[in-house]
Amino acid sequence: MTPGAWWRHTRLLLSLPRLAAGVSILELALEHGYDSPSAFAPMLHKVPGVPPNEYLRKK
């Protein structure tokens, strides 16, 4: 894993508790430098292996 990929992976994993706490995907996307939730959601899906809405259902 490259340093950039590691950093993205780490930041996304750190955002999962905030997502579970109710922070909007839009807010998280903007914090991570994405232009929209639709650009952020695939990355959020890639790291934990489930889409954001499935992650929330499992909590």
Domain residue ranges of the chain, discontinuous segments joined by +: 3-58
Structure confidence at residue 2 (pLDDT): 92
The whole-angstrom separation of Cα 57 and Cα 10 is 22
Q: Within 10 A of 25 (CB to CB), how many other CB atoms are there?
A: 19
* CA 34 to chain CA centroid, nearest Å: 11
Tell me: pLDDT of 28 over 60: yes
| pLDDT > 90 in the chain, percent | 3
Tell me: pLDDT of 29 over 80: yes
Q: Does domain 3-58 correspond to CATH entry 3.40.50.620? A: no
Work out the pLDDT band at 4, boundaries 50, 70, 90: confident
pTM of the model: 0.64
The whole-angstrom separation of Cα 2 and Cα 51 is 24
